Amino acid sequence: MPFTLLLGGARSGKSAMAERFAIESGDSVTFIATGEPLDDEMAARIARHRDDRPAAWRTIEAPLDLLTAVRSTSPGDFLVVDCLTLWVSNLLEKGKAATEIGVAAKDVVGELSRRQGVVVSNEVGLGIVPANELARAFRDVLGAVNTIFAGSAERAVLMVAGRALDLGSAGSVMRQD
């Protein structure tokens, strides 16, 4: 059973829904975290999320090399990847080009398409056009990455104010290559 893509804005309920899917799977769970504790607030947020997860879940920290993290998991595990937003941000911060990030996304999707799990990402294309070049580049790259993942996900779900809106299956997605 391929993965589900969970999209939404900040504090929309994405992570809670991802954890619910993982618990309901009944399988062993591996949580792949992409966030880095670069300041005190983020360190506290990461610690809070870690403390909230079931103790039996394995956690892999993968701020940059998501493919290796996915490959290192047991094939029968339910994977939670949280989140593509921070992964893309981390890669851009390290100087990766949009094309490199797109190739990396396709590689990760290829690996995830043979596994069961959920991938979390922010939907950043619903707001105003960002005022600066870096913010526009981030929005564009994340939008392209989300499209790559949606193209192979068994289903995509948009979270809004804690409510889940089913966006359909992979066959209903226009691919962006």
- Annotation marks residue 49 as catalytic: yes
> How is residue 162 annotated by DSSP?
T
Q: What are phi and psi of 122, to 5 degrees?
A: -85, 145
Q: How many CB atoms lie within 10 A of CB 147?
A: 18
Q: Report long-range pairs for 65-72 (Cβ below 8 Å, ≥24 apart).
A: 66/32, 66/34, 66/104, 66/108, 67/104, 67/107, 67/108, 67/111, 69/32, 70/32, 70/108, 70/111, 70/112, 70/115, 71/111
How far, in Å, CA of 160 to CA of 52, rounded?
22
Vertex 61 angle, CA 59 and 64, to 5° = 145
Query: Looking at 49, 58, 96, 139, which residue is catalytic?
Result: 49
Q: Is 156 exposed, middle or buried (0-12, 13-18, 19+ CB in 10 A)?
A: buried
- Report the catalytic residues: 49
